[in-house]
Structure 1
Amino acid sequence: MRATTVVSLLLALVLAGLATFTAQIWLNTERAQILSEVLPASEEEQEPQQKIVVARTVLQFGQRLTRDKLQEIDWAAKDLPNGAFTSIDQLVSDSEEHARFVVSSMEVGEPVFVSKITEPGQRAKLSTALTPGMKAISIRVNDVLGVAGFVLPGDRVDIMLTRSQSSGSYVDVLLQGVKVLAIDQIADDRKDKPSVVRTVTFEVSTEEAQKLALAANVGTMSLALRNIGSSETETLQRVTTLDLVDPQVAEELRLQKEKAAAEEAALAAAEMLETGPTDTELMRQEVETLLKGFMSDISGRLNEVETSIDQANTVNSEPVRTVVASSPPPKPVKANVGVIRAGKRSNYLVPRVDPAAPATAE
C-alpha cells in the first residue's frame, strides 16, 4: 500500500473522531439546557396544593349547607381566593345554632365564599342579601304594571310614575336601573319562570325609598324591564298627553327598512353590472340625454338674449348729441324789377345774373 493512501486513511479517521467528539459535546449541552428548562416547570407543577370547598350540586337561596352538597378539591395554594373555605367542617355543623344557609345561588363546582352564605346560626333572610347601606322597599303591581310577571329576582328595572292634573296626564321616569330583590315572598335569583305577582321588592338607597313611598300615594307606578347587561342611565323628559299625537316609528323597524332599501339598491346595481342595462334603463338614459341637450340649448339661448339685452342697455345709456349745422340762406333765382311808365309802376321778374359767373357771347 502506498504511503499517501495510509496517510489519507489516518487523517480521515482523526477527522471522524473529532466530528464524533464535537457532536457528543453539542448533544450533551443541548440535553442539559432542555433539562434546565423542563425541571423548573415540573417543580412549579409540584407546588403545594390547598383544598378548597366548592358546590357539589346547585345551591339556591335559603338552602342549608350539608356535607352531601359540598366537596373539597385541590387548588393552587398561591391562587387561593379570599373568602374561600378550605374544609367542609368550617361550613357544616350538626347543631342548629351553627348552621349556615345560602343567600346567593351557586353553580356546580363554584367555590363557596363568605359573601354567599350566612353567618353561623343566622337564617337566610332578605336582610342578609342587602348590600351594606342599602334598603329594601316593596311596591304593589299587577299583571300589566309588573311586565306580565317577567320581572324576576336579580333583574333591573326602570320605575315610571304616572300622574294626572287639570291639564292632562303625564308620566316621569322616577328611578333607573333598580335591582329587584324579590317578587312576592320569593328571593331566589335562580327563579326563571314568569309568574303574575302582586308585590315587587327593590334594593334602593334611603332617598330612593322615600321617593317610592311618596310616589305610591300620588300616582300609579309601572315597571320597565332592562337588559341584563344594561348599566347606562338616560336623560329623559316628561311625556304628556300632547306627545301622544306625534307617532314615532320604532328604531329597529326604521333601521330594518333602511337596510332593506340599501340591499335592494346593491342587488339592482349588481344585476346591471352582470346583464347590462335593460330596455327600460336604456330608454331612461336616452330621455335623460335628450333632456340634458334640451336644457343646454335653452340655457344657451337665454345667455344670448341676456347678452343682447345688456348690449342694448349699454347703447341706450349713451347721451344723444344734436348737431345743428348753420348754412347761408339760398340766393333767389330771379329779381323783382320795377318800371314806371305813364305814372304807373309795373313789376317784372327777370333772371338774376351772378356777377362772378363768366359772361356769355351773344
Structure 2
Amino acid sequence: MRAIFGLVLIVGVALAGGAVMMAKNYIADYQQALATERSTHQEVVPLTDVYVASHPLRYGEPLTKKDVRKVRWPKAAVPEGAFTDLDALVPAQPDRARVVLRAMEKDEAILAVKVTGPGEDAGITSQLARGMRAFAIRVDVATGVSGFLRPGDRVDVYWTGDPGRATEGGRGDITRLIESRVQLIAVDQTASDDVSGATIARTVTVSVLPEQVAALAQAQSSGKLSLALVGAGDDTVAQPIEVDQRALLGLDVLKPRFEETKPEVCTIRTRRGSEVVEIPIPCTN
C-alpha cells in the first residue's frame, strides 16, 4: 500500500513539474513574441517624447509642470521648435518660468515661438525679431479696417497728403503705398491674438526695420496713414501704387474740345465776257 502511495505521489509530482515547465515555456514564448512585435513597430514608426498642453492655455499665463504632459510622437513629424525635454520647457527655478505668448488648445504641441524664453515676460519686446523695432500708428474706425485688426495680422500702409505740388495745374493730395505686408504685434495695449469680436483701436503697433520707422514717422507727421488688411494666405507683394486727384477724376485723359471756326469770306461776282469771276471784299455784316 505504501509503495502504491509513493508511486502515485511521484507521478503527481512529475505531472505537476511538467505542467509548470509547459506554462513557463508558454509564458516565455509569449513574452518573446510580444517583444518582437514591439521592436517591429518601433522600427516601422520611430517615436519620441514631445510635450503638449494638458489643457487650454491663454496669453500671459506662466507655464508650469501641471500645464504640460508628455506624449509619444513620430520622430519624422515632430514640429520645429517642439520641446522633448521637460527641464528645458519648465525650468526648476520659479523666476525662470516661461510665459505663454499664443493661445493653445488641449493636446497642442508646445513650440518655442508660442512661449517666451526662460525668465522673460510676455511684453512686446519678446515678439520683436532680431533687428526689428516696434512703431505705433494712429488709427480710427476708417483707417483701422473697422476694428478687425488682430496681433499677428499683416497690413499694407498707405499715405495720403500734399507733397507740395498743390499749385495751379498740380495734382493736389496723393495716396501712395509706402509699406507692404507689415506685421502687427499689438492693437492698443493688447499683444495677444486671442481676441473675439471687433475692437475699435486708437493705435496699432507694427514690427519694422529702423529705416521703415523713419519712413513711417515722416509719413505720419506729414499726412494721414491708412491700413489695408492682407489675407492670411496671401503671399503676394504689392507693386508701387500712387493715385492723385487728377488721375482719380480722369482729368489727365480728358482734354477740352475746341471747334475750329473758319474765317468768313465775302465775295462779289463779276462777269468778264463769258467768264464769271468772284472777287473777295470786306464783309460788312
Fold shared per TM-score above 0.5: yes
Measured in 2, the distance between the counterparts of 1:58 and 1:86 equals 20
Structure 1 letter corresponding to 2:207: E
- For residues 86-235 of structure 1, the aligned pairs below 5 Å read 86-92=84-90, 95-164=93-162, 165=164, 166=166, 167=170, 168-235=172-239
TM value normalised by structure 1: 0.52
- For residues 35-54 of structure 1, the aligned pairs below 5 Å read 43-47=39-43, 49-54=47-52
Deviation at 1:245, TM superposition (A): 2.1
Structure 1 letter corresponding to 2:126: T
Partner of 2:241: 237
CA, structure 1 residues 89+161, in 2 after alignment: closer, same or farther (shift >3 Å)? same
Partner of 2:71: 73
Q: Where do 5+ consecutive residues of structure 1 fail to align? A: 1-38, 248-362
Structure scoring higher RCO (CA < 8 A, sep ≥ 6) equals 2
Whether the 8 Å CA contact 1:72–1:87 is kept in 2: the answer is no
Structure 1 letter corresponding to 2:152: G
Deviation at 1:142, TM superposition (A): 1.2
Partner of 1:63: 61
Deviation at 1:60, TM superposition (A): 2.9
Deviation at 1:146, TM superposition (A): 0.8
CA, structure 1 residues 77+170, in 2 after alignment: closer, same or farther (shift >3 Å)? closer
Measured in 2, the distance between the counterparts of 1:69 and 1:114 equals 15
- RMSD across aligned C-alpha pairs, in angstroms? 2.6
Q: Which is further off, 210-219 or 225-234? A: 225-234
CA, structure 1 residues 132+56, in 2 after alignment: closer, same or farther (shift >3 Å)? same
Measured in 1, the distance between the counterparts of 2:233 and 2:47 equals 36
Whether the 8 Å CA contact 1:169–1:241 is kept in 2: the answer is yes
User: What do residues 272-325 of structure 1 show as CA deviations (whole Å, max 9, x unaligned)?
Assistant: xxxxxxxxxxxxxxxxxxxxxxxxxxxxxxxxxxxxxxxxxxxxxxxxxxxxxx
Measured in 1, the distance between the counterparts of 2:127 and 2:56 equals 18
Measured in 1, the distance between the counterparts of 2:78 and 2:238 equals 40
Q: Which is further off, 100-109 or 188-197? A: 100-109
Whether the 8 Å CA contact 2:151–2:185 is kept in 1: the answer is yes
Q: Where do 5+ consecutive residues of structure 2 fail to align? A: 1-34, 252-285
Q: Which has the higher helix share?
A: 1
Quick check: which has more Rg, 1 or 2?
1
Structure 1 letter corresponding to 2:97: A
Measured in 2, the distance between the counterparts of 1:170 and 1:49 equals 59
Deviation at 1:42, TM superposition (A): 6.0
The alignment covers a number of residue pairs equal to: 209
Measured in 2, the distance between the counterparts of 1:176 and 1:60 equals 30
Deviation at 1:75, TM superposition (A): 2.2
